[in-house]
Amino acid sequence: MPAGMWFAALGAVKAFSSIQQHQQAEQQVQIQREGAFRQVAENNRIGLNNQIYINDLEALELKKHGLDSLELSLQVAKARSSQLALQASQGAGLGKSGNTAEQIIQDISRQGANSIARKELNFSTQLRDFQNKRTNAVQQNLSANNAAFSNLSIGPSKTGLALEILGDAATVAIASKQG
């Protein structure tokens, strides 16, 4: 085999080897990306389930709040009615010392209104807590997705491959001139 053919074959083998290594590196990057995308899809599925769970809890709390508020209002109305009935049976509070019949009814109404106001304040705190839980779930999902993408490489450079092949060709050409 003449020397020129031998150097040409050597150059072709080096170029083929460089191309093959480049393709393997691209395949590895693609496998990495697919794994990251699968992980992100799983993270998003879990995040969605978390949001649904939080929404379900909030819906139950809303229903409970509505029932509790109704029950509290009914208790206030019942206490007022009982007091009015008691006062009516005693002659509308005639001859009583201290609070008048009207003041007693006002006290019952005020205490009921205070209880309802506390209930509303507690409920608004619970609603803020649900919003915080949603925000935290989104932040956890974003963090998990960032972690999935943080280890990805950008892949091999085609310019680098071309320069490597040109460098090998130059090395072979120099070697063929010298040898």
pLDDT confidence of residue 154: 80
Domain that holds residue 82: 3-178
- Give the mean model confidence (pLDDT) for residues 20-49: 92
Angle between helices 3-89 and 101-150 (to 10 degrees): 170
pLDDT tens for residues 81-128? 887 777 767 765 555 545 676 787 788 888 888 888 888 899 899 999
42 pLDDT band (50/70/90 cuts)?
Answer: very high
Cβ atoms within 10 A of the Cβ of 172, count?
Answer: 20
pLDDT confidence of residue 9: 78
pTM, 2 dp: 0.62
CB 102 within 8 A of CB 80: no
What are the CB-based long-range contacts (under 8 Å, 24+) for 16-23? 18/161, 18/164, 18/165, 18/168, 19/161, 19/165, 22/156, 22/158, 22/161
Question: What's the distance, CA 155 to chain centroid?
Answer: 30
The Cα 51–Cα 42 span in angstroms is: 14
Q: For the chain, how many structural domains are there in total?
A: 1
Angle, CA of 151, 139 and 144, to the nearest 5°: 25
